[in-house]
């Protein structure tokens, strides 16, 4: 995916003051065939329903594109929990009428058909779901339908730890024009920034009714900002266990077992608008590398003084930090920072998508980043 993306944050609030109208567009019809064209499909091939939604906030700052996916039921076969486009196995008849009947059954509404793509003898028919999607308070393992971000479809190729089938990902990777929203500004059609997925959670009572996240990590070595994990599995380390694997208490009541595992925890899935991101790997000229060296080379173990203000300030133009593979003498040779790899400076750069109760029985006694079968309720 193209990194030269345009962020509306870079103009806010100046563009509003100047009364500039920046309306995002999805120019999908440039890249797909109109429904007036003949559709070629044979018996036993598939009709895939590619249903998209453009989610726009009031000032368009959080505008993003999502696609509608069907999750196969949990089972013992290879398709267990696999995310695909909703599909129909074709036998005979008009493909559009067949598709529209299925859409009516799902949404109880008629959607605007934009066109289609023919690929490997299958049909991919595109529909616009032009309705504002309310944030779903809770999605469970048996939830059939999920809205996926472009980042999840093309980069992560999973939602939580549910894999997205290659028929979905490859459609976008083979047709990159349908990945982007655009906005027309200063006589140029800009690709709009694509948000990335991030996860964070904790003890369930520390996440409010609007499933907003726990407050900033005030005493982080990276500053009083918002920490996320780029994967569901990584996020469970601090969503489901205390930082030191020791018991914790809430209102004088123990909320963990003796290994620091919460008795009940939630994970919030978010869309993060990175803006100007600094990727931290191990550059010697990096301010953050100096912080890591300070921790790595300090032979005397000292407690972090919570009363002292964080002294390593970010550069003004940096919005987020992405932590890569950073050499570290301690631990296993790499700096992991408790499975956090996205740090966000301000709260307006992320929005919640879904929330999930963690299946505590799937966790084991201690967290394992290599274990792929952690579950939600």
Cα–Cα distance, 354 to 149 (Å, whole number): 12
Cα–Cα distance, 325 to 196 (Å, whole number): 19
Strand partners, 270: 198, 352
Cα–Cα distance, 60 to 54 (Å, whole number): 11
Res 298: pLDDT: 52
Res 59: pLDDT: 61
If you compute the radius of gyration of the chain from its CA atoms, what whole number of angstroms results?
Answer: 23
Apex CA 55: angle with CA 35 and CA 274, to 5°? 120
Distance set, CA 110 to CA 35, 49, 191, 230 (Å)? 16, 13, 29, 36
Distance set, CA 100 to CA 113, 208, 247 (Å)? 9, 39, 54
Distance set, CA 174 to CA 34, 155, 166, 183 (Å)? 18, 13, 11, 23
Res 164: pLDDT: 98
Res 208: pLDDT: 65
Cα–Cα distance, 210 to 143 (Å, whole number): 20
Domains in the chain: ranges and CATH: 8-191 (3.90.79), 196-362 (3.90.228)
Cα–Cα distance, 241 to 339 (Å, whole number): 12
Kindly give the confidence (pLDDT) of every residue in the chain, 377 residues in length, as a single tens digit, with 9 standing for 90 and above: 454 565 555 554 444 444 455 678 899 999 999 999 999 999 999 999 999 999 876 666 788 999 999 999 988 888 899 999 999 999 999 999 999 999 999 999 999 999 999 999 999 999 999 987 766 678 999 999 999 999 999 999 999 999 999 999 999 999 999 999 988 777 778 888 899 999 999 998 888 655 555 556 655 677 788 889 999 999 999 899 998 899 999 889 999 999 999 999 999 999 999 988 887 766 654 666 666 666 666 554 444 444 444 445 677 788 888 877 666 655 555 555 556 789 898 888 998 899 999 999 999 899 888 888 899 99
Cα–Cα distance, 31 to 82 (Å, whole number): 27
Q: Say how far residue 368 (Cα) sits from the centre of its chain.
A: 21
- Note whether 194 and 275 are within 8 A (CB): no
The helix/strand count (H/E) of the chain reads as 6, 20
């Amino acid at each position: 995916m193209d990194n030269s993306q345009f962020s509306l944050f870079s103009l806010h609030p100046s563009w509003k003051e100047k009364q500039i109208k920046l309306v995002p567009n999805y120019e999908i019809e440039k890249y797909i065939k109109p429904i007036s064209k003949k559709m070629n499909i044979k018996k036993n091939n598939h009709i895939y329903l590619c249903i998209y939604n453009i989610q726009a906030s009031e000032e368009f700052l959080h505008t993003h594109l999502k696609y509608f996916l069907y999750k196969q039921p949990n089972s013992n076969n290879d398709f267990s929990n696999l995310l695909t486009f909703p599909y129909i196995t074709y036998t005979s008849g008009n493909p559009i009428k067949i598709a529209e009947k299925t859409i009516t059954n799902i949404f109880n509404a008629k959607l605007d058909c934009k066109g289609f793509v023919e690929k490997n003898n299958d049909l991919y028919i595109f529909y616009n779901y032009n309705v504002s999607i309310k944030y779903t308070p809770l999605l469970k393992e048996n939830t059939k339908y999920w809205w996926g971000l472009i980042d999840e479809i093309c980069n992560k190729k999973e939602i939580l730890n549910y894999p997205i089938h290659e028929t979905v990902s490859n459609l976008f990777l083979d047709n990159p024009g349908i990945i982007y929203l655009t906005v027309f500004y200063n006589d140029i059609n800009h690709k709009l920034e694509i948000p990335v997925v991030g996860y964070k959670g904790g003890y369930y009572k520390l996440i409010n009714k609007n499933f907003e996240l726990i407050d900033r990590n005030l005493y982080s070595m990276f500053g009083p900002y918002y920490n996320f994990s780029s994967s569901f599995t990584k996020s469970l380390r601090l969503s489901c266990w205390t930082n030191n694997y020791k018991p914790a208490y809430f209102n004088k009541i123990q909320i963990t077992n003796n290994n620091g595992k919460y008795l009940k925890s939630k994970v919030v899935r978010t869309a993060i608008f990175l803006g100007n991101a600094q990727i931290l790997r191990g550059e010697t000229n990096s301010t953050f590398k100096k912080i890591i060296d300070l921790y790595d080379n300090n032979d005397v173990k000292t407690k972090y003084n919570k009363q002292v203000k964080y002294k390593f300030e970010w550069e003004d133009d940096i919005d987020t930090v992405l932590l890569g593979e950073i050499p570290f003498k301690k631990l296993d040779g790499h700096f992991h920072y408790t499975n956090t790899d996205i740090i966000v400076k301000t709260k307006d750069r992320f929005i919640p998508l879904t929330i999930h109760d963690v299946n505590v029985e799937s966790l084991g006694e201690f967290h394992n980043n290599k274990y792929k079968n952690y579950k939600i309720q």
